[in-house]
Amino acid sequence: MKNNVNREIPDQILKDHNYEGFKTVDFGNPEIQRVAPKVTAQVGPSKVVESIKKVVSETVKDGMTISFHHHFREGDFVFNMVMREIIDAGYKDLTLAPSSLTNVMNDIVVEAIQKGTVTNITSSGMRGSLGDAVSHGALKNPVIFRSHGGRARAIEEGAVKIDVAFLGVPNADEMGNANGMNGDAAFGSLGYALIDAQFANKVVLVTDSLMPYPNTPASIKQTQVDYVVKVDKVGDPDKIGSGATRFTKDPKELQIAEMVNDVITHSPYFKDGFSFQTGSGGAALAVTRFLRNSMIENQIKASFALGGITKPTVDLLNEGLVGRIMDVQDFDKGAASSMKNDANQQEIDASWYADPANKGAMVDKLDVSILSALEIDTKFNVNVMSGSDGVIRGAIGGHQDAATSKLTIISAPLVRGRIATIVPDVTTVITPGDSIDVLVTEVGIAINPKRQDLVDTLSKVPGLPIFTIEELQQKAEKLVGKAQPLQFTDRVVALAEYRDGTLIDVIKEVKD
Amino acid sequence: MEIKKTAMAGTLESSDLQIMLSQGTKGIEFDLTSDVAKQFGDDIKATIKAVLDAFGIDNVLVKVVDKGALTPVIKARAITAAQRALDIADQPQWEVL
């Protein structure tokens, strides 16, 4: 069948994996039955086990679903320690269901696939050698990609049933009270891991810092935890988040950032009490700086900033320009270390952040979001998953979720090297054009024709060049030439879910 | 025509292209490395071949390392390499340019 973003989804895939094709960005008000985890009661004085090996042998069985979080990012030691034990013990047919996969996890996942330890994967994304292996058909079953909100939904409704969650934490007490804010390997918000702690049948905390009982503040609570394992080091602090945030000097990024700021400040949403989410890229960080000046000039304060947090956003909080930071993860040390000192920087879990199957997620209250794109097409559909060669090299993250904001801005250069960013059709649709409002490039902006109100408002802004998205696409093509279409086989290697659990696209094996 | 000596032009900076021309016997032979080979490989070869044809070079080994260069850059690097290979860099063939 063809879904509502005009993607051909093989009927066999829909049937085999029990999916419907993507229809609409409106989630509606369905009644949803959630699942609950199995709880093994215990009354002992301590849950500390001496080794990962022991806890693996007590909890993991062939065919199970195991999960991890990615808050340690490229500084993660826990994933490799646990997977090493699991591979060496000879387990088979496991489903790997981490919140996402970072580069430091690639090699061991590829090994686990080759040895038959892992036969299914669901994740926010993947890149590097793992993305390459999957795109070349290494895994028998297709990978399922979900947004952060979509993952929370899938876990809550039981589409993903986690048997054992291995959660690395920079501190914990003997009963499993833990947070992400203290310790050598502190990373700030535990946002994505909180869902696993709540819904996994077995929860194993791995920490390098055993604290006196009771350890507070407790983001993960002893009521949720089965085992605590002490190891030497859970992560490399230097690789968990970048240190000082460096503002871009790239004139192209600054030009884009300034224009994004023009769009925001001239939109009807820029008023006292507005809310926003920015990413962590160079242009997004620069937007925060321009936005700060505009807020001071116009005496406008934001009620909250949402999502993945960086130091520049924390600075806005400290200056009183932002009332609250609703923090699902922290991208740098400044953001990670400020949470424990400021009650206005609130840790939120992935469900609260972005789950559509909820009694209300924060993204539903979001006015402005600034997102990036590998590709955007003339229907405003966005690809953040497959690279210009068709190989998987990205992650959905919160892209689909934050794109439901009232004003969703994609900031992207017209071309990157010889690759056009604006194309007739994206390689993989991840976020549907229906939820994108404005595209900002260094040469000008394009407004989704569905937003005539924005066309009317922004047309009056002096010095803001407005094009149709077709015009921008043609400008890009004139610069780089017409690309030859990528070649794929018929075999589906990955499924991309929309946040509501329908299929928005499939990714096929690349032909080399 | 064959070239007189091995010659090179360009750098490995992003958006540039490095081209090396050396003695060949079996027509114009390409050895192309590019991140965008799937989308633009044929285009890059056609651009370079057009330059070589204009200089009348028909037996040459062309080693190309492309870093996402746009067509005018590819053309400029190819012209420079061809002039150096033919030892005519001091007396450019203006009609070819």
Instruction: Read off the pLDDT of residues B39-74 as tens digits, 9 standing for 90 and up.
Output: 999 999 999 999 999 999 999 999 999 999 999 999
Instruction: Report the residue from A418, A479, A487 with minimal CB separation from B36.
Output: A418
Co-location of A309 and A403 in the same domain: yes
| A500 within domain boundaries | no
User: Among the three residues A195, A212, A240, which one is the final residue of a domain in this structure?
Assistant: A240
Is residue A57 domain-shared with residue A76, that is, in the same domain?
yes
| A344 and A201 assigned to the same domain | no
Residues A201 and A256 in one domain: no
A216 and A281 together in one domain: no
Residues A378 and A464 in one domain: yes
Cross-chain residue pair B68–A419, CB shorter than 8 Å:
yes
**In this complex, which of A416, A479, A483 lies closest to B39 when CB atoms are compared?**
A483
Select from A390, A418, A484 the Cβ nearest to the Cβ of B68: A418
Q: Would A362 be classed as within a structural domain?
A: yes
Residues A287 and A354 placed together within one structural domain of the fold: yes
Number of domains in chain A: 2
Q: Does residue B97 have a pLDDT over 80?
A: no
- Phi then psi for residue A156, to 5 deg, are -65, -35
From the number of C-beta atoms within 10 Å of its C-beta (0-12, 13-18, 19+), residue A136 rates as middle
Please judge whether B39 and A390 are an interchain contact, meaning their C-beta atoms are less than 8 angstroms apart: no
The residue behind tokens 């990670």 is: A336
User: What angle separates helix A311-318 from helix A282-298, to the nearest 10 degrees?
Assistant: 10
Tens digits of residue pLDDT in A150-208: 999 999 999 999 999 999 999 999 999 999 999 999 999 999 999 999 999 999 999 99
Q: State the pLDDT confidence band at A305, using cuts at 50, 70 and 90.
A: very high
CA B89/CA A351 separation, integer angstroms = 66
From A418, A484, A487, residue closest to B70, measured CB to CB: A418
Q: What CATH code is carried by the domain that includes residue A414?
A: 3.40.1080.10
Is the ipTM above a cut-off of 0.90?
no
**Do A206 and A303 sit in the same domain of this protein?**
no
Task: Give the end of a domain, one of A240, A271, A306.
Answer: A240
Q: Are A193 and A329 part of one and the same domain?
A: no
* pLDDT tier for residue A245 given thresholds of 50, 70 and 90: low
Which residues in chain B have their CB less than 8 angstroms from residue A416's CB? 68
pLDDT recorded at residue A54: 98
**Nearest CA-CA distance, residue A425 and chain B, Å:** 14
- Give the model confidence (pLDDT) of A107-140 as tens digits: 999 999 999 999 999 999 999 999 999 999 999 9
> Does A509 fall in a domain?
no
The answer to whether B14 contacts A417, with C-beta atoms less than 8 Å apart, is yes
Q: Taking Cα atoms as reference points, which of A189, A130, A218 lies closest to residue A395?
A: A130
Contact B15 A483 (CB under 8 A): no
B42 contacts on A by Cβ (under 8 Å) = 484
pLDDT, tens digit (0-9, with 9 covering 90-100), for A31-40: 999 999 999 9
Instruction: State the Cα–Cα distance between residues A70 and A87, nearest whole angstrom.
Output: 20
Tokens of A405: 């904001």
Q: Are both A111 and A147 inside the same structural domain?
A: yes
Rounded CA-CA distance A363/A326 in Å is 10
Domain co-membership, A295 together with A212 = no
Is pLDDT larger for residue A333 or for residue A173? Answer: A173
Task: Indicate whether A298 and A233 sit together in one domain.
Answer: no
Question: Residue B68 and residue A417: Cβ atoms within 8 Å?
Answer: yes
Domain membership flag for residue A341: yes
Average pLDDT over residues A235-249: 81
Distance from CA of A255 to the nearest CA of B (A): 20
Q: Which residues in chain A are closer than 8 Å to B38, comparing Cβ atoms?
A: 389-390, 484, 486-487
Contacts of B65 in chain A (CB under 8 A): none
CB contact under 8 A, A483 and B71: no
Is A77 a member of any domain? yes
* Rounded CA separation A476/A373 (Å): 15
Query: How confident is the model over A19-61, as pLDDT tens digits?
Result: 999 999 999 999 999 999 999 999 999 999 999 999 999 999 9
pLDDT on residue A244: 59
What's the CA gap between A11 and A23, in Å, rounded?
Answer: 15
How many Å apart are CA A332 and CA A243, to the nearest integer? Answer: 6
Domains present along chain B, CATH in parentheses: 7-85 (3.30.230.10)
Q: Confidence class of residue B95 from pLDDT cuts 50, 70 and 90?
A: confident
In a domain, A6, yes or no: no
**Which of A255, A360, A353 minimizes the C-alpha distance to A304?**
A353
A484 and chain B: CB distance < 8 Å anywhere?
yes
In a domain, A107, yes or no: yes
List chain A residues with CB under 8 Å of B68. 416-419
What is the per-residue pLDDT across A4-14, written as a single tens digit (0 to 9) for each?
999 999 999 99
Averaged pLDDT score across all residues of chain B:
94
CA dihedral over A22, A447, A294, A285, signed as positive or negative: positive
Give which of A418, A475, A511 to mutate to test B binding, by max B Cβ within 10 Å. Answer: A418
The whole-number average pLDDT for the span A54-80 is 97
Of A203, A205, A123, nearest in space to A163 by CA: A203
- What DSSP character marks residue A458? H
Which range (A135-149, A218-232, A237-251, A412-426) has the least confidence? A237-251
pLDDT at A243: 63
What pLDDT shows up at residue A248? Answer: 84
Between chains, do B39 and A419 touch, taking CB under 8 Å as contact?
yes
Amino acid in the structure at residue B19: I
Domain assignment present for A502: no
Q: Which residue range is the domain that position A171 belongs to?
A: 11-24+47-240
Give me the residue from A389, A417, A484 closest to B15, CB to CB: A417
Contact B39 A417 (CB under 8 A): no
Query: Residues of A with CB below 8 A from B67's CB?
Result: 417
pLDDT band at A284 (very low <50, low <70, confident <90, very high): confident
